[in-house]
Amino acid sequence: MFQQFQTPNYASFWLRFAAALIDGLLMMAVFCPIGFALGTLGAVTGGGGGEAAQAAFAGIQLIFQIFSFVLGWLYEALLESSSWQGTVGKKLLGIRVTDMYGNRIGFGRATGRHFAKLVSQIICLIGFIMAAFTEKRQGLHDMIAGTLVLEGAPATGGFGVTLDQPPPPPPSDFGGYRG
């Protein structure tokens, strides 16, 4: 009567998979050239470089791994908590990450969701596959973080709710008492 509610349109497993594939290809485009350069450097210097050169190369590889880890986390957490509500792949496919009420999530929840994906990966990707079979199309990481992935543009009020103003309250019959 006061609000017109729409049923949320949960993003399908395959739509989410395609968004993850796009994001993976984007990350590969960034990191493969760097990895190739490091591999080439290691091949060139590894033959006769000695112990000091090998230690330096191992240090460079470690720095690259840490950089990749941090960049992947920031990519997801910053974009999912932004007005886009999703990564580039999600944005291209018209899906977005929300809280359980259809509202934009904050950086902390997006960070939790990102790291909860490690749990989904550790258990043979079962946590991701769950999104194909759960009622709200949630993966394990979504359940842990309390998030949903929805299709369509964000709407004010969450879940595509049209916020109509309720009618004014009836006049009081209790002599002005509004307890």
Ranges of each domain in the chain: 13-44+55-151
- Measure the CA–CA gap between 129 and 172, rounded to whole angstroms: 56
pLDDT band at 49 (very low <50, low <70, confident <90, very high): low
Q: Judge whether 114 and 66 are in contact, CB under 8 Å.
A: no
At 115-133, the pLDDT tens digits run 999 999 999 999 999 999 9
- Measure the CA–CA gap between 109 and 118, rounded to whole angstroms: 15
Q: Judge whether 72 and 117 are in contact, CB under 8 Å.
A: no
- In this prediction the pTM is 0.77
Looking at residue 178, its pLDDT comes to: 52
